[in-house]
Amino acid sequence: MCWKVQLVVPQWWTRGVATVDTAVGGRGSPTKSVGMTPSTCGSCPGTIVRVTDDFAPDLIRVTDLDRKVVEQRLRVAHADGSLTLDELDERLANLWLTKTRRDLAGLTKDLPAPLPPPPPPAPPKPNHARTAMRVLTAIWLSVSVINLVIWLMVSLINFDPAYPWFLWPMLPPGAVLGVLWWLGVGRTRS
């Protein structure tokens, strides 16, 4: 009699991976079936026998990270007054002896549920007045510099200082912007 022997693993282990059967005494072929079934060699009839069953998630072994999370929860429970110092010491001693998630859950089953984390702070509102003041100041400054450079070039080419006409487009708007900045337009208010 020939039997196909297949490795049985939980469904989530084999995502995208096909299991390979090995026929003992017969022909093997790649398949996605799970269990121990009669071989397809044609010479052996038989019944389907399951090798192993899936195990419960609470029987999965815990990691040190899982233990540290539970340790923090126990310390918070002690700080809140849910556990005495003796109970905390006893549970912390048992914490590092736990092997499965079921054992780990047993350490915190009588404690109140942990508080949810606080919501993140609201993002600051954009200050449109500050943005407008910066744009206006940048425009004023660039126009003033261009006018000053033009006046300077004309004065140098003629070898004679020309009338300072660049002050008229520079001073009145600059005075208005200065007053607005001084009054606090565009400042953040707390």
pLDDT of residue 150: 92
Q: What is the largest CA-CA distance in the chain?
A: 116
Of 40, 30, 51, the closest CA to residue 2 belongs to 40
Calculate helix-pair angle for 101-108, 64-80, nearest 10 degrees: 10
pLDDT of residue 57: 79
What single-letter amino acid sits at 177? L
Which helix (H) or strand (E) element contains residue 178? Answer: helix 167-183
Q: Rounded CA gap, 25 and 75, in Å?
A: 59
Q: Is 153 exposed, middle or buried (0-12, 13-18, 19+ CB in 10 A)?
A: exposed
The model's confidence at residue 48, banded by pLDDT at 50, 70 and 90, is very low
pLDDT on residue 22: 42
Lowest mean pLDDT of 12-21, 61-70, 117-126, name the range: 12-21
Rg (CA), the chain: 40
Q: How far apart are CA 148 and CA 120, in angstroms?
A: 50
Cβ 44 vs Cβ 1: under 8 Å:
yes
CB 62 within 8 A of CB 104: yes
Identify the CA nearest to 67 among candidates 97, 111, 109, 89: 97
Distances (CA, A) of 169 to 46, 67, 114, 147, 182: 102, 72, 66, 8, 21
pLDDT confidence tier of residue 59, bands split at 50, 70 and 90: confident
Q: What distance, in Å, lies between the first and last C-alpha atoms of the chain?
A: 85
Check residues 28 and 64 and name the one with the higher pLDDT. Answer: 64
User: What is the rounded distance in angstroms from the CA atom of residue 174 to the CA atom of residue 76?
Assistant: 60
Give the number of C-alpha atoms closer than 13 A to the C-alpha of residue 50, restricted to the C-beta side: 4
